[in-house]
Amino acid sequence: MSLLQRVERAQQGANGENVVAVVPVAPPPPTPSSTAGRDDMLRNVRLRLQAEVISSFDSLLEGPDTAIRAKVEAMIDRVISLHGFAVTRDERLRLIEDMANDVTGFGPLEPLLNDETITEVMVNGPSHVYIERNGKIERIDSVFLNDEHVLRVIDRIITPMGRRIDEMSPRVDARLPDGSRVNAIVEPLSLVGPVITVRKFSAKPYTVDDLIRFGTSTPDMFEFLQACIEARLNLFVSGGTGSGKTTTLNVLSSFIPNDERIVTIEDAAELQLRQEHVITLESRPPNLEGEGEITIRHLLKNAMHMRPDRIIVGECRSGEALDMLQAMTTGHDGSLSTGHANSPKDMLRRLETMVLMTGYQLPLRAIREQIASAVDLIVHTARLKDGTRKIVNITEIYGIEDDEILTQDIFAFKQTGIEEGKIQGRLEATGVRPTFMSQFQKAGVLLPPGEFGIPPEDPANPSHSSKSRWGGGNAQVVPDAKILALGKGKAVTAGGMVYVSSIGPIDPETEKIVGGGIKDQTRQCLQNLLAKLEGAGSSLEKVVWANWSLRDPTDFDSFNEEWVRWFPGDAPIGQGTLMPPLQRRAGFRISIGVIAEA
């Protein structure tokens, strides 16, 4: 026995208790081989202590926490003495802390969960533990003893929630008492051993001030989003994994007035609303017999009978998207949810896919009409390369045209530079005035002077919403003057020829698109074309080539009937094309361009 072992060896007292002596002098610097040997020895100690803890777990839990720690200390001293292990004072204290965490907490996860600087914990089997801190992932020294050790921690997490994990059900979603989200997956699905992923949430919910301090967005943008919530706009928060969707949703939910009844629905309850009238619903997995499952879809349908003012779904992943859209259009304005997507347009495509996952054979046109009517705003979050999380887009969904959902960015993130490795920039107005601005006035929401940089209303071209739930389902959206200018055409003379760009069906006196069908619009186009040619010193008789763009190709026969009336003899040669989106959006059914002799 070495001198160090003889000095550190537990000595028997008169009462039979073990007394651990502490070496008063510093040990010599350990060599790599001695360090590896001590690691193996400490691992052996932990394995024996683990067996002791498992065999006497129930008795250890009896009594207050101070008694538990005393029992753990006695157990450790007994095992060290029985097997002759030589441990230092610091190693003994570390063993006591580890075993106490195993008995009363979540083992090696406990100190990581208590560290407020850590936002995510990832256990990839017993020997590989990673954390996320300040948006960066790093590996740490903390390890589990073996697969069984990891499984015991998983059981401690999910058992209070009535959930299970085994070969028949090898994955589970759960939450910790503080609301942190947990996902666990084991063999045979995981080939590296049991895997635990913990998305930590602050014990104190993040506030607007916190997100402003983190640089997620600016005060005026949160003021704008607060106005949108108070005006009862339906809103989706989109973004990639770990981009801060749930945190953003939680902060946006805080803008809901306190006198409204709110129902939240989640797989694992993690939203932390501070309003008084909140009902929190949580889905339930099937039992051992595969029965008793309650999905988010079930809870959404039930919530419709609970007289909610607003419904908040933590995340739409599949068929519940259809029920969420229906709730948004049936008297539950101001509802909120999140979804995984890389951009606002990707979020719309994902909603389409999720609706199709219900199994209903719905036409794509019907699905898109439902989305366009239900969703007003998409707030898109992203985790940037420097690890920071920011709101990078605020996008309006304002209608549908030719089976395409119409969107426009109201605010977009503009990067201004990089300082000390951090991306600098802010959300800036894009110069587009959203169609929902009138809803603020209807809801009694006062906007600050300047309206967050959104351009003022143009009296000559007022915008009108096409949302049917706002009473604008059949109202024509008055196009922007810039779009109308495209339909007035332009004549250029060169090389003895006159080239006229697209002429639209715009009444020159009213500056509005003529109503009626394709024949009426064709007639107006040709009248405008005649005036344009005569102004350039030409005429319809000198047209040698024409191009007509139709919104709907099936309108060709009706268009041609009017065309041959204007060209009764040999009509000019030409070709037809599909109308570009800008002219469609303006309400054109046809536009005509020609080449004529000067």
Q: Round to whole Å and give the CA distance between 64 and 79.
A: 23
Confidence band (pLDDT; 50, 70, 90) for 265?
Answer: very high
Alpha helices in 128-281 (DSSP H): 147-158, 208-214, 219-230, 245-253
Q: Which one-letter amino acid corresponds to residue 475?
A: A
Confidence band (pLDDT; 50, 70, 90) for 341?
Answer: very high
Q: Examine the pLDDT at 250 and tell me if it is beyond 70.
A: yes
> Do the Cβ atoms of 374 and 328 come closer than 8 Å?
yes
Question: Of residues 48 and 363, which shows the higher confidence score?
Answer: 363
| Omega within 30 of 0 (cis) for the link into 188 | yes
Phi, then psi, of 559 in degrees rounded to 5: -60, -45
**Mean per-residue pLDDT over the chain, rounded:** 83
Q: Examine the pLDDT at 386 and tell me if it is beyond 80.
A: yes
Q: Which of 73-77, 132-136, 237-241, 307-311 has the lowest mean pLDDT?
A: 73-77
Average pLDDT over residues 145-153: 88
Q: Examine the pLDDT at 14 and tell me if it is beyond 50.
A: no
Q: Which of 155-169, 342-356, 392-406, 449-463 has the lowest mean pLDDT?
A: 449-463
- pLDDT tens readout for residues 516-525: 788 999 999 9
Q: Which of 6-15, 390-399, 517-526 has the lowest mean pLDDT?
A: 6-15
Question: Of residues 338 and 286, which shows the higher confidence score?
Answer: 338
Contacts 24+ apart (CB under 8 A), 551-555: 551/402, 551/579, 551/583, 551/584, 551/588, 551/589, 551/590, 552/589, 553/578, 555/518, 555/589, 555/590
Average pLDDT over residues 101-119: 84
Tokens standing for residue 548: 């007509």
Average pLDDT over residues 282-306: 86
Average pLDDT over residues 563-582: 85
Average pLDDT over residues 61-66: 61
Confidence band (pLDDT; 50, 70, 90) for 387?
Answer: confident
> Do the Cβ atoms of 445 and 231 come closer than 8 Å?
yes
Average pLDDT over residues 212-226: 93
- In DSSP notation, 62-113 reads SS-HHHHHHHHHHHHHHHHHHHT----HHHHHHHHHHHHHHHHS-TTHHHHH
CA distances from 288 to 83, 291, 293, 296, 593 (A): 42, 7, 11, 20, 70
Question: Of residues 25 and 120, which shows the higher confidence score?
Answer: 120
* Predicted TM-score of the model (pTM): 0.67
Secondary structure of residue 181 in the 3-state scheme? strand
- pLDDT tens readout for residues 445-486: 989 988 999 988 877 666 666 676 776 554 444 455 555 677
% of residues, the chain, pLDDT over 90: 40
Residue 8 is predicted with a pLDDT of 40
Q: 25, 23, 28, 17: which is closest to 5 by C-alpha?
A: 23
- pLDDT tens readout for residues 254-264: 999 999 999 99
Residue 70 is predicted with a pLDDT of 74
Residue 259 is predicted with a pLDDT of 92
- pLDDT tens readout for residues 151-190: 989 988 988 887 888 888 899 988 888 878 899 999 999 9
Q: Examine the pLDDT at 542 and tell me if it is beyond 50.
A: yes
Domains of the chain: 3-104 (no CATH), 109-199 (3.30.450.370), 209-443 (3.40.50.300), 481-597 (3.30.1330.40)
Average pLDDT over residues 364-377: 92
Q: Round to whole Å and give the CA distance between 322 and 258.
A: 28
Confidence band (pLDDT; 50, 70, 90) for 13?
Answer: very low
Q: Round to whole Å and give the CA distance between 376 and 396.
A: 6
Residue 420 is predicted with a pLDDT of 83
Average pLDDT over residues 350-376: 91
Residue 589 is predicted with a pLDDT of 87
Confidence band (pLDDT; 50, 70, 90) for 21?
Answer: very low
Average pLDDT over residues 273-301: 87
